[in-house]
Amino acid sequence: MRTTLDLPENLLEEAMKTTHIQTKTKVII
């Protein structure tokens, strides 16, 4: 099931850097 998430872009980028995960979807999961 697809859902649209409205997350702050800078928060997502920080999470991606911290976890070293390349895709936004995997960061959220």
Residue 2 is predicted with a pLDDT of 79
Residue 17 is predicted with a pLDDT of 92
Tell me the per-residue pLDDT of 1-29, one tens digit each, with 9 for 90 and over: 678 888 898 998 899 899 999 888 888 87
Residue 23 is predicted with a pLDDT of 87
Buried b (16+ CB within 10 A) or exposed e, 3-23: eeeeeeeeeeeeeeeeeeeee
Residue 10 is predicted with a pLDDT of 92
Cα 7 to chain centroid, rounded: 8
Give the pair of three-digit tokens for residue 26.
């995997």
> How far apart, in whole angstroms, are the C-alpha atoms of residue 1 and residue 17?
26
